[in-house]
Amino acid sequence: MVWFWSRSGQELHLETTFDNETSEFVLTMVWSDGRRETERFTNLEEFRVRLVATEERLQAERWKNSGPPLFVPEGFPNKRLT
């Protein structure tokens, strides 16, 4: 999934994917200046906690959702998670 955020003419994409090769959940922030920040998690609950904390931080910094999320099917697990 990709979420779109904006603030004062800046854009930010918050991407969540699953890396099927490494079995890791991936959180990537792509800034309008091209900078990318990526974090990887092997535990789903740690990933969820980090995602919520990131969204709360963005809101506290006055970022606003600027559109509906985009579904990216390639970013999901290709097998059932245990």
Alpha-carbon distance of 47 to 38, in angstroms, equals 12
- How do the domains of the chain map onto residue ranges? 2-73
Instruction: For residues 53-68, give the mean pLDDT.
Output: 96
Share of the chain above pLDDT 90, in %: 79
H-helix or E-strand spanning residue 11: strand 10-19
pLDDT grade for 76, boundaries at 50, 70 and 90: low
27, 47 contact by CB (below 8 A): yes
Alpha-carbon distance of 24 to 17, in angstroms, equals 9
Dump pLDDT digits (tens) for 39-60. 999 999 999 999 999 999 999 9
What's residue 70's pLDDT? 87
pLDDT grade for 80, boundaries at 50, 70 and 90: low
